[in-house]
Chains A and B, each alone.
Chain A
């Protein structure tokens, strides 16, 4: 009897943490297959690449837990970098503040349209995505906008600097993730996000400020995408009109891979990190392989996403039909 329940426990743990398992398998595979996988250089590379998408994905996590989607994150990402670059020669701090302000404002606009005007999240964020991307193209005149590396020396250096051997960008990602985890677990607003996503009507009945929660979720998503854009600008020294293009899809994929269901009510920031790292590892390994090329990246990402949701679906079906405990 004991043996059986132990096996069950392991299966339970595995299926509940399938994303982490997948990541471990990937890493294991990477270590075996590539000599250079486990080198300091490579690991830092993966982390650095993942950090910007990761920050964006954390923001996306909040939105998806409420049961929505934020397609505007890529455009906010780009716009934020552009604003920072624009103000870099005068006062980088103003630039950063303005960039974050606009990012937050976008989130507020989305949140209001979605909660008060009843516009489906997909449509609202699609429109803000389009509008902001257009603004970015206009402001950059379709060319990369250079960061004034002299005037904004500190900002630019931060993009390449390391602290205790780890890139500052990665630290930012780590800190934000920790904050997000704490927020989701210990802040009333964080818990409200889960409630609204789990059963919106019930949340309303329980007296929660549903509209406010939704607006907050999208605002956070906007701010975090904005931070990501600043990170990109600091790292590359320029703001590109096509920055973040298509990243919204990657962010959604990272969140879903990490175990957050699009139906809402469940999910963790930690899971999203795992999802982001999975995508980062895949990207890295494809690069290391050399012969494959980025097309395989797309294919594998797509296939991984599909597998992940199919797995989650089977899990849900299994849970439904398993014995529900009675007291």
Chain B
């Protein structure tokens, strides 16, 4: 059977990239001073958190679930790391990540073993984890000075290039390996695409799901740690607020089906960049950030409508 590619199909596969190019082009023409290297640096440093968290969310959505707690996992990991910096940067980071992973595995266990809907489980964790984060410092901002730690996010190569340009690819590679090269990546997508067929093929559904949520939280935790390194302080009240929205938007816009299944890794990354680019575009054209927010909403909605039309046709 010959594969016919319709416009809709193309859009849902490469839509994010097309949109990104269109937006870049539009900006290049209409926005003053757009083509400057600073824009790229800007995108990278400020889009860092969104990109990393989106990667984790992508895994969870691919498995057929969702994780609303990522925005609260960030401050938990961040606070634990921040408060233990005197033990050494690496041990502190490891402790923070472990906390994040534990939360994720807990989520995964409730979803897989007790079969509770991911929406509700992670909603509960969204609330509880935020409270836990706040508790670690009595809801107060925690300031710290640790040059080495800060340099993780603040360092500029040759004084100009933000270090994130090296870090993001590391995360991308990790995800790429998981999705394309590892057995678990196959299992995640198989489970999300057809859970019963996967079960009957002998796939370990429970461990796959626990891994997925654990990995998602780990990535969120890492994003939180890098963020406080950049800022120099950890605010348990606002760190990670609304990040789940951007992440889900990036995954959906990027072409990974909300019902689960085949991962579109590049799509997610491009879409995360698009989300950030919308904000930058607004900034540079003196459009209020709020309008950017509204535009994001419209873009997501349109993208999903198109996606649904395409999937219904099959």
Q: State yes or no: do A and B touch (Cβ within 8 Å).
A: yes
Q: With an 8 A cutoff between CB atoms, is B308 at the interface?
A: yes
Q: Per-residue 0/1 for B110-132: is the Cβ within 8 Å of any A Cβ (1 yes, 0 no)?
A: 10001111011101111111111
Q: Are A120 and B294 in contact (CB under 8 A)?
A: no
Q: Are B135 and A299 in contact (CB under 8 A)?
A: yes
Report chain A residues within 8 Å CB of B298. Answer: 127, 131
Report chain B residues within 8 Å CB of A130. Answer: 245, 293-294, 296-297, 300
| Residues of chain A in range 241-275 having any CB-CB distance to chain B below 8 Å | 249, 252-253, 256, 262-263
Report chain A residues within 8 Å CB of B258. Answer: 120, 122-123
B236 and chain A: residue at smallest CB distance = A295
Q: Are B304 and A262 in contact (CB under 8 A)?
A: no
| Contact A303 to B293, CB < 8 A, known contacts A295-B139, A313-B116 | no
CA–CA, A303 to B120, complex, Å? 11
Q: With an 8 A cutoff between CB atoms, is A124 at the interface?
A: yes
Report chain B residues within 8 Å CB of A131. Answer: 293-294, 297-298
Q: Are A299 and B114 in contact (CB under 8 A)?
A: no
CA–CA, A133 to B305, complex, Å? 21
Distance between A228 CB and nearest chain B CB, rounded to angstroms: 20
Q: With an 8 A cutoff between CB atoms, is A149 at the interface?
A: no
| Contact A302 to B124, CB < 8 A, known contacts A126-B248, A127-B300 | yes
Q: Are A138 and B132 in contact (CB under 8 A)?
A: no
| Contact A302 to B305, CB < 8 A, known contacts A123-B252, A134-B297 | no
CA–CA, A119 to B294, complex, Å? 18
Distance between B112 CB and nearest chain A CB, rounded to angstroms: 13
| Contact A293 to B120, CB < 8 A, known contacts A249-B126, A299-B131, A302-B131 | no
B131 partner, pick from A118, A128, A135, A296, beta carbons under 8 A: A296
Distance between B64 CB and nearest chain A CB, rounded to angstroms: 13
CA–CA, A134 to B298, complex, Å? 12
B66 and chain A: residue at smallest CB distance = A122
Distance between A244 CB and nearest chain B CB, rounded to angstroms: 14
CA–CA, A123 to B248, complex, Å? 9
Interface 9-residue window, one of A15-23, A171-179, A304-312: A304-312
Which of A256, A294, A305 gathers the greatest number of chain B CB atoms within 10 Å?
A: A305
Which of A123, A135, A137 gathers the greatest number of chain B CB atoms within 10 Å?
A: A123
CA–CA, A240 to B312, complex, Å? 41
Number of interface residues, chain B, beta carbon within 8 A: 45
CA–CA, A128 to B115, complex, Å? 30
Q: Are B301 and A262 in contact (CB under 8 A)?
A: no
Q: Are B297 and A128 in contact (CB under 8 A)?
A: yes
CA–CA, A305 to B124, complex, Å? 6
Distance between A287 CB and nearest chain B CB, rounded to angstroms: 14
Report chain A residues within 8 Å CB of B129. Answer: 302
Q: With an 8 A cutoff between CB atoms, is A106 at the interface?
A: no
A71 and chain B: residue at smallest CB distance = B245
Distance between B123 CB and nearest chain A CB, rounded to angstroms: 6
Q: With an 8 A cutoff between CB atoms, is B134 at the interface?
A: yes
Q: With an 8 A cutoff between CB atoms, is B291 at the interface?
A: yes
A140 and chain B: residue at smallest CB distance = B290
Report chain A residues within 8 Å CB of B182. Answer: none
Q: With an 8 A cutoff between CB atoms, is B138 at the interface?
A: yes
Q: Are B117 and A262 in contact (CB under 8 A)?
A: yes
Report chain A residues within 8 Å CB of B110. Answer: 306, 310
Q: With an 8 A cutoff between CB atoms, is B33 at the interface?
A: no
Q: Per-residue 0/1 for B125-157: is the Cβ within 8 Å of any A Cβ (1 yes, 0 no)?
A: 111111111110011000000000000000000
Q: Are A137 and B290 in contact (CB under 8 A)?
A: yes
Q: With an 8 A cutoff between CB atoms, is B42 at the interface?
A: no
Distance between B148 CB and nearest chain A CB, rounded to angstroms: 30
CA–CA, A263 to B139, complex, Å? 35
Distance between A118 CB and nearest chain B CB, rounded to angstroms: 4
Report chain A residues within 8 Å CB of B249. Answer: 126
Q: Are B135 and A296 in contact (CB under 8 A)?
A: yes
| Contact A313 to B127, CB < 8 A, known contacts A119-B308, A134-B297, A256-B120 | no
Q: Are B123 and A313 in contact (CB under 8 A)?
A: no
Report chain A residues within 8 Å CB of B119. Answer: 69, 122, 262
Q: Are A293 and B139 in contact (CB under 8 A)?
A: yes
| Contact A299 to B128, CB < 8 A, known contacts A130-B245, A134-B294, A305-B120 | yes
Q: Are A295 and B116 in contact (CB under 8 A)?
A: no
Q: Are A252 and B290 in contact (CB under 8 A)?
A: no
Q: Per-residue 0/1 for B282-314: is the Cβ within 8 Å of any A Cβ (1 yes, 0 no)?
A: 000000101111101110110011001100100
Report chain A residues within 8 Å CB of B135. Answer: 293, 295-296, 299
Q: Are A138 and B288 in contact (CB under 8 A)?
A: yes
Q: With an 8 A cutoff between CB atoms, is A93 at the interface?
A: no
Q: Are B125 and A302 in contact (CB under 8 A)?
A: yes
CA–CA, A122 to B258, complex, Å? 10
Distance between A141 CB and nearest chain B CB, rounded to angstroms: 9
B69 and chain A: residue at smallest CB distance = A302
Report chain B residues within 8 Å CB of A295. Answer: 130-135, 138-139
CA–CA, A310 to B117, complex, Å? 10
Closest 3 CB pairs of A and B: A302-B128, A298-B131, A302-B127
| Known A134-B297, A313-B115; further 18 A-B contacts with Cβ < 8 A | A113-B301, A119-B304, A119-B308, A122-B258, A126-B249, A128-B297, A130-B245, A138-B290, A138-B291, A295-B139, A297-B131, A301-B124, A301-B127, A301-B131, A302-B127, A306-B120, A309-B116, A309-B120
Binding site for A on B (CB under 8 A): 66, 110, 114-117, 119-121, 123-135, 138-139, 245, 248-249, 252, 258, 288, 290-294, 296-298, 300-301, 304-305, 308-309, 312
Query: Can you give 12 contacting A-B residue pairs, CB < 8 Å?
Result: A113-B301, A128-B297, A130-B245, A130-B297, A134-B294, A137-B290, A293-B139, A299-B127, A299-B128, A303-B124, A305-B123, A313-B115
